[in-house]
Homo-oligomer: A and B are copies of this chain.
Amino acid sequence: MPAPRKSTRSAAARDASASPAAPRAIAEQLERHGVRPSAQRVAIASYVLGTEDHPSADQVWARVKERFPMVSRATVYNTLRHFTEKGLLRELVLAEGRQVFDPVIEPHHHFVDDETGAIRDIPWSALKVAKIDELEGLDVREYMVVVRGVSRGARKG
């Protein structure tokens, strides 16, 4: 068995990302997560499980409609909720006025660009949060650092 990969995306996201044009692989991933792989869901998964853009539901809809014009808005919303429930996606509150979706399931931090609104992942190990266990009276399910500012140099929009 190969060594663990550096990528922290879910198995589904990794496969989707590695083979974005492989609907069969995506369908199999959906099935492994207990999601029936209809054509619409495979199309939605092809995009959302392989993107680093942290899109909103309507952004996913706009994107999937390019190649699947008949897909309905309700289907996209239903499917994103279903993927979230099945552990394929995380739903985050990071942007004003909308929820965003993140295929990287494992813990990580986020950076939100003040100028562009773009959201990007910060690896878990890039930051250390000390004393989280000393928060009294709180059962911590998860935590992350949200960093806001401006990107410079690499990765211009």
Contacts and interface: CB of A to CB of B under 8 A. Distances in A.
A148 B142 CA distance: 5
From A111, A143, A144, residue with most partner B Cβ within 10 Å: A143
A129 B132 contact: no
Interface in A105-157: 111, 114, 122, 126-132, 134-155
Interface of A: prevailing SS: strand
B126 A138 contact: no
B135 A140 contact: no
Contact of A152 (B93, B96, B128, B139): B139
Q: What copy number does this chain have within its complex?
A: 2
B126 A131 contact: yes
A99 interface: yes
Contacts of A94: 93
B149 A141 contact: yes
Contact of A149 (B93, B127, B142, B145): B142
A21 interface: no
B140 A147 contact: yes
Nearest to A122: B135
A130 B132 contact: no
Q: Across the A-B interface, give the 10 residue pairs with the lowest CB-CB distance, nearest first.
A: A128-B130, A141-B149, A143-B147, A140-B149, A139-B150, A139-B149, A137-B154, A137-B153, A142-B148, A127-B131
Interface of A: 93-97, 99, 111, 114, 122, 126-132, 134-155
